[in-house]
Amino acid sequence: MGQYFRAVNMDKREYVDPWHIGGGAKLWEWCVNTQAGIFPFLLRRSSEGGGGDIEEEYTTAGRWAGDHVVLVGDYDESGLWQEAERSFSNISQQLVQEYNQFIAIPDGVT
């Protein structure tokens, strides 16, 4: 099967599930799929805009900037993969909606 990974924000107790954003969950799949474009969107930090920058107000744009964020595997001994699923908020659906609107591709990432 292989190890699956999900993005987890330790500070906000949130996570992004790769299958909910239309991607694969193995490390290689995260690295090569266009769905990884969510990371610049989530991690962006800027007080000014420019060409190609975010012009709308999105709750997920820059939401994880400066936070402790990890891409954790389900085999990791910390148990964080499982803990996130049990007790953290899955922001994938909201993120996909806003990210797709930002990149202006009708079918988006999912």
Would you state the pLDDT for residue 8?
Answer: 99
Give the pLDDT score at 108.
57
Output the pLDDT for position 90. 98
Q: Tell me the mean pLDDT in the region 76-89.
A: 98
How do the domains of the chain map onto residue ranges?
Answer: 5-103
In whole angstroms, give the CA distance from residue 82 to residue 70.
Answer: 14
Whether residue 109 is predicted with pLDDT greater than 70 in this model: the reply is no
What's the mean pLDDT in 89-102? 94
pLDDT per residue as tens digits for the range 24-57: 999 999 999 888 999 999 999 887 767 667 778 8
